[in-house]
Structure 1
Amino acid sequence: MTARVAGGGHTTRGGWTIGALTQDPEFLTTTFVVIDFETTTPTGYPAQPVEVAALALRYVNGGWTPGGRSTSLIRPPAFAPVTPAFTAQTGLTAEELMRAPTPADVLGNLDRRFTADKRYLLVAQHAATEAHLIHNQRQHCPTLARVDLLDTIPLAKHLVPGLPNYRLDTLLAHFSIRHPADRHRAYADVDITAEVFFRLIRAADDSAQVTDLAHLVRIAGRTAKCNLPTQSELFDVNASG
């Protein structure tokens, strides 16, 4: 049984608060894909992916339903060697990554999971990192490269003001989410980023601070670089007159 909460624009179902955001038709028809990359950053080059994980989610009947998962190591190029510091942080070795499939194979397979008949938004912690990396790999994943993003950092700043910072570990502590033993692996970081996203959407509903998907995008959205208009040159040297 659904009952109206006086003066709030919320409903309650089974003791849980359901806000306007999770009743918005656009929100309900969107597949949210939480994504995370692990990278090496060679001197003089942009970051190179060595692992990717993605978790597709839909909000159905008052809860989150997984719609598929993808995870893979990625072989780095020769100019992006695996450093001892990277191995110490992730546990991944150069020998292990040299046996991994190429970026073209991994990102191509991931790209084919995105179909034309669905609306998607990528979700990432500090989404600018994922946005730049995907754009730099767009030849391997042209469909993925046109999916816009949601960044959990500005969303958390909006909904949970006053934290000392908005790093992922800080958000885990704030929401009492268990810190995984394999932190800094893409598959683990995707799961905990998803948990943070769930808590933020719940906070949005509880506080009525976000009214619909368009409002969510205004707060935390990042347009994929492939979807940005191409800037014309300030001066056209071939123009007459």
Structure 2
Amino acid sequence: MKKILSGTVAAIALIAVATPAAAQHTNQRHYAGTVLGIPYTATNPNGLETLGLEFGLGLGVGTRYRAQADAPNDSENATPTVNVVFSLSGTVNRDCSFYAGNDSSARNIDFGVIGVRTGNNENVNSAFEMVGQAEANIDTLTAGCNTNNVVEINKNDIRGLVNANPGGYDTDEFQANIPYQVTASWTGVALNAQTTGSSQSLVVPTTGNAGQKQQGAWRSRMDIDIVAPAVTNKGLVAGSYTGTTTLTLRAL
């Protein structure tokens, strides 16, 4: 029997299949020939039949076509979709800031002369008393902390401004200290609150020497007002009056 190809060219298609299914390898054996005038064909015969056909080929009977293809399988199971998770991390250091001028002179608050009633025509019950209250106003445009924090105010002496060398005086009629109040104001939020900032304040009165307020992260202007109300129940002993107030912004 004679097999006739359509046209003059036999085109062999090479196909590589990318699929998660198991690979299908080509293994084709085709035989054809004529025995005693009778044509025959055999496609992928079994082992015993193949032996007979191959024996016939050795005697010059018939013909054979073989096509075999093989390739190694994937090294691992194919994964059509791959998810890769990247864990990103970093650290922001806790910090509190307060712009307090460019040198220490900016923090030396001098009331100058604290006026007392010195007129010789003053009533004895008013002589040497303060003429009016003493005030200091401090503000900075940059203050705050980037985490939960506490604002603290501490006076070094609960008596306020103190005359350390007053000499002798009648304690019924004079005193050697000037009490003062400290008020700090800013815009912030309550401790652990996640909300819009609002007006906050911390007051240490004339009768106290320390105070604190806990809050969440904030940044804003801060105003500090120091007021020494006029001492009018007693006269002030002459001399230098000093005191210190410490403002602390401390991360929690």
- Judging by fraction of residues, say which structure has more helix: 1
Same-fold call, TM cutoff 0.5: no
Higher relative CO (Cα under 8 Å, sequence separation at least 6) belongs to: 1
- Judging by fraction of residues, say which structure has more strand: 2
Q: Give the TM bin, normalised by the shorter chain.
A: under 0.3
Q: Which has the larger radius of gyration?
A: 2
TM-score, normalising length: structure 1: 0.22
